Amino acid sequence: MEPLAGEGKEIVEEPTTYDPQSALKSCLRTALYYDGLARGLHEAVKAIDSRECHLVVLSSSCNEPQYTKLITALCQEHNKPMIKVENSKMLGEWSGLCKYNQDGKAVKIVGCSCCVIKQWGEETPARQYLLDHLKKNS
């Protein structure tokens, strides 16, 4: 009996090109899987203050100026990198605050103004791209 084609061979993924948004989405998904996300103001402030924060993601569509001031000030005080995204609903979907229908499309998305990566999970090309992007822009 002959082995099937491709059987016993290691599948090597081709390196894909990332943009900051797709890399962030991938990193948030990985961190969510490894239970490494803090979502919302209370959890985010606790994570930043306790120095277990790697990256802060803040929504630009947050309409509460005190909220954004607090998160920005904490990031500067503790020298933590911060990325802004334009939409709270999009950040909510990326950080797992939604349900999925049978087709795999996100429904019932809850907006999220702030999200903190406390634990990256695993070493991925998206994570490396995001860290390089942050170093270039800091």
Residue 11 confidence (pLDDT) above 80: no
pLDDT of residue 14: 38
Residue 128 confidence (pLDDT) above 50: yes
Residue 12 confidence (pLDDT) above 50: no
Return the SS3 of 31: helix
Cα–Cα distances in angstroms (integers) from residue 103 to residues 32, 100, 106, 118, in the given order: 21, 8, 9, 31
Q: Which fold has domain 20-137?
A: 60s Ribosomal Protein L30; Chain: A; (3.30.1330)
Q: Where are the domains of the chain?
A: 20-137
pLDDT of residue 73: 92
Residue 123 confidence (pLDDT) above 50: yes
Residue 76 confidence (pLDDT) above 60: yes
Give the number of other Cβ atoms within 10 Å of residue 87's Cβ: 14
Average pLDDT value for the chain: 83
Residue percentage of the chain with pLDDT more than 90:
12
Return the SS3 of 57: strand
Q: Are the beta carbons of 18 and 30 closer than 8 angstroms?
A: no
* Across 88-105, average pLDDT: 86
